[in-house]
Structure 1
Amino acid sequence: MSTRDALPPLTCLRAFEAAARHGSFTQAGSELSLTQSAVSRQIKRLEEDLGRPLFERHYDGLRLTPAGEHYFRVVQRLLRELRDETARLRRRGDDRQLTLASSPTIASIWLARQLPDFQRAHPDIEIRILTVEDPHRLDLAEFDLGIYYHVPREVDPPGLTADAIFAQEDVAAVCSPIYLERHGGIADPQDLLNRHTLMVVEDHYHDWLTWELWFQALELDWQPPLHTLRANSFQLLMNATLAGQGVTLGWTRLLAAEIAQGNLVHALPHKIPSRGRLSLLTPQHRHLTEPMRAFREWVLG
């Protein structure tokens, strides 16, 4: 920063924006794949160039100074506009392309079955699907709209608004007819725990509905199951369930086609309302292109 009218380096501005948004150098570093000390150095360099502090350091975290608050709003807006414009140019001016972000499970089980209807109605729109397991890791510049399960009133993915696609949905125990042929019917919940294989998601985001919570919601007696098949991917467990390897918790609207075609059946009659809703995630402050508007109207309608 050799001259007083030179712009600060983009790396400093990105570090400042992330630290101000998180209120933490450590969390900013995690987002930017930098160490906490590297973020601190970037902020110090920016503060020295501006000739004033941007943060007040407190024992319980960071707080923006009045100058920092104003600068944060300006920097955040400019970085957002720069990301959006960069993403638009990278798409080479193809305004008819629509990039949909979703988890691998939703993309393969639900979205892929629904898209032919949309494409028949809008044959001029080209679809690109981006699979990212955790919506909190989405780069807003890389996609137009997202489809994920969203739990209202919990931490929302930053920079996104969520609109429910399903007004309500139930969670039930499901398995394939092949599994029942091999292992016999399931008499009751205790029989499920004592004699059958439960598919268990090893939840790395701590927002997944567990079998224990499902039993508790139904006011049923719980004990650890004797047999489990575990994986950190719901998509993998669902494929194993369809292949007849066990019983899993399934979201009935998401799996409606598999249930209607007889590929999955209810292992028990019990069900509970889902805390989450399959939702359309829309980047805030993004100019809606024609394909984005068309898909929003179609999927929410």
Structure 2
Amino acid sequence: MSARDALPPLQCLRAFEAAARHGSFTQAGRELNLTQSAISRQIKRLEEDLGRPLFERDPEGLRPTPAGEDYYRVIRRVLRELADETSRQRRRGNERQLTLATSPTIASTWLARKLTDFRDLHPDIELRILTMEDPHRLDLAEFDLGIYYHLSHEIDPPGVAAEPIFSDEDVIAVCSPAYLARFGEVHDATDLLDNHTLLVVEDYFKDWLTWQHWYGTLGLDWHTPAHSLRANSYQLLMHAAFAGQGVVLCWSKLLSEDIAEGRLLKALPHAMPSPGTFSLLTPQHRHLSQAAQRFRQWLLEPPDA
């Protein structure tokens, strides 16, 4: 291949694809763990190689030029096909391995228990769990199926289709028996704010809700709670709830086993219909392995359904 026909460096193509998809050098840098200036340099190198600009700026931000639009469509398709084929080749040596992507909370509070039943039915499948809080940061080549909380009105992670696992779901307030034994019963919604500790998620993603939203949706009077424990990790707050540190909002079906067995109790009788659903994310434009097909059928079409 002559120097004139040589392909641009892969890192430049990845930087361009991410920048065009996000419409931002900064967001592309976050996805690729690079600085904004590093993305800018790689785009400039690519533009010099091609001899034409690929982006232009307008009042709404960064957008591809007509040449950039054409190049983006090709590069996105080529990178996706390359990632899929790379993933297939890697899995070909071990067809029995299944990689599931999910959030740390779902992995620790629900999936780890459910997998016991699946492994009893399919002992030949080797499971691997990949935890990532934000599904939009997933690399499609790194997992077979994903399990995440999904809002229908939000933009889906690129390249995946979402199917609900539960037909409906409620958001409820729960605490441990140890908490009630130490601090007493929660008499009503006002008593919860005045005399108890609310476990509060900070830096939450768009798929979560606040205590204030929960109160407002249910028509309950809200004011700033007298006591709260705050964290930017919902998983940490769930551990705090089990340890008797306060009252937390949770999904009723996700923690149905803990509620049924008394490890968690409803602090209030109220239940708010969840605005989203727990969903199975399936990468599109990829043939599912036998292991992935068996897991999907087990999860979405259980024998007792």
Name the TM-score, length of structure 1 as normaliser: 0.94
1:220 aligns with 2:210: no
Structure 1 residue identity aligned to 2:16: F
CA apart distance, 1:181: 1.6
Q: Counterpart in 1 of 2:41?
A: 41
In 1: Cα distance, 2:38 partner to 2:202 partner: 33
Structure 1 residue identity aligned to 2:168: Q
Q: How has the CA–CA distance of structure 1 residues 236 and 63 changed in structure 2, closer, same or farther, with 3 Å as cutoff?
A: closer
Q: Counterpart in 1 of 2:79?
A: 79
Q: Counterpart in 2 of 1:236?
A: 236
In 2: Cα distance, 1:74 partner to 1:299 partner: 35
Q: How has the CA–CA distance of structure 1 residues 111 and 220 changed in structure 2, closer, same or farther, with 3 Å as cutoff?
A: same
CA apart distance, 1:87: 2.9
* Matched residues, number: 301
In 2: Cα distance, 1:33 partner to 1:243 partner: 36
Larger displacement relative to structure 2 (126-135 or 33-42): 33-42
CA apart distance, 1:25: 2.1
Q: Counterpart in 1 of 2:286?
A: 286
Q: Counterpart in 2 of 1:299?
A: 299
Q: Is the 8 A contact 2:87 2:141 kept in 1?
A: yes
Q: Counterpart in 2 of 1:63?
A: 63
CA apart distance, 1:133: 1.7
Query: Where in structure 2 are the equivalents of 1:199-214 lying within 5 Å?
Result: 199-214=199-214
In 1: Cα distance, 2:39 partner to 2:229 partner: 42
Structure 2 residue identity aligned to 1:205: F
Q: Counterpart in 1 of 2:271?
A: 271
Larger displacement relative to structure 2 (121-130 or 154-163): 154-163
In 1: Cα distance, 2:223 partner to 2:62 partner: 44
CA deviation map 1:107-134 (0-9, x unaligned): 1111111112222222211111111122
CA apart distance, 1:29: 2.2
Helix, strand or coil: the match of 2:166? coil
Q: Counterpart in 2 of 1:173?
A: 173
Q: Indicate the percent of aligned positions where both proteins have the same amino acid.
A: 69
Helix, strand or coil: the match of 1:141? helix
Q: Counterpart in 2 of 1:155?
A: 155
Helix, strand or coil: the match of 2:158? coil
In 2: Cα distance, 1:222 partner to 1:51 partner: 60
CA apart distance, 1:241: 1.1
Larger displacement relative to structure 2 (253-262 or 65-74): 65-74
Structure 1 residue identity aligned to 2:29: G
In 2: Cα distance, 1:232 partner to 1:36 partner: 25
Structure 2 residue identity aligned to 1:146: G
1:184 aligns with 2:184: yes
Helix, strand or coil: the match of 1:225? coil
Helix, strand or coil: the match of 1:148? strand
In 1: Cα distance, 2:120 partner to 2:106 partner: 21
CA apart distance, 1:236: 1.5
In 1: Cα distance, 2:204 partner to 2:219 partner: 26
1:108 aligns with 2:108: yes
Q: Is the 8 A contact 2:150 2:207 kept in 1?
A: no
In 1: Cα distance, 2:162 partner to 2:73 partner: 23
Helix, strand or coil: the match of 2:100? strand
CA apart distance, 1:139: 1.9
1:28 aligns with 2:33: no
Q: Counterpart in 1 of 2:3?
A: 3
Name the TM-score, length of structure 2 as normaliser: 0.92
In 2: Cα distance, 1:182 partner to 1:228 partner: 16
Structure 2 residue identity aligned to 1:23: G
In 2: Cα distance, 1:251 partner to 1:280 partner: 16
Query: Where in structure 2 are the equivalents of 1:93-132 lying within 5 Å?
Result: 93-132=93-132
CA apart distance, 1:293: 1.2
Q: Give unpaired runs (5+ residues) of structure 2.
A: none
In 1: Cα distance, 2:274 partner to 2:17 partner: 35
CA deviation map 1:93-119 (0-9, x unaligned): 111100011111111111111112222
